[in-house]
Amino acid sequence: METAPITAWTLQAQIPMPPDVGELMVPGERPVAAFSTFRDSAIFTNKRLIIRDAQGISGKKVEVYSLPYSAINMWSSENAGTLDWNAEMELWTRAGHIKVRLGRQVDVRRLDMLIAHAVLGTL
C-alpha cells in the first residue's frame, strides 16, 4: 500500500557541524553527522535526527523538527539509478511516513548504516 509522506526533505551534501548545534542538544547528546538541506541543515546525533528549516524571505524564522530514533519502526534506502539522479531513504515512524531525498554527494549506504546503528542502539 502506497502512503503519502507526512513530510519530505532533501539532504544535499555532508557539511561540517554547524557551530550553534549545541543549543539544540540535551546533556549526553552528541552530534554525529550534518548535511545541508535546501535552506538549512540536518543534524544526526546519537539520539535523534534534527532538521532545521529556515522559512520566509529572510530565513530568520526557523522551524526545528526532531525525530528520536526510537520512533523509527522501519526504513528503506534506494541508491540512484541511471535515469533517477537522486537516491532516497524512507522512514516509517510512529508519527507517519517520512521521505528523505539524497543529493548525488550523499553516500546512501553510509547514511543507511548511520540509521541502522542509531535505531539498533549501537551509535
pLDDT tens digit sequence for 64-114: 899 999 999 999 999 876 555 678 999 999 989 999 999 888 999 999 999
- N-to-C CA span, the chain: 32
Nearest Cα neighbor of 36 from 102, 87, 88 is: 102
Query: 102 in helix, strand or coil?
Result: strand
User: pTM (2 decimals)?
Assistant: 0.85
**Mean pLDDT, all residues of the chain:** 87
pLDDT tens digit sequence for 28-75: 999 999 999 887 899 999 999 999 887 777 767 888 899 999 999 999
Q: Give me the domains of the chain, ranges plus CATH numbers.
A: 7-119 (2.30.29.50)
Q: What are 31's three cell numbers?
A: 552530534
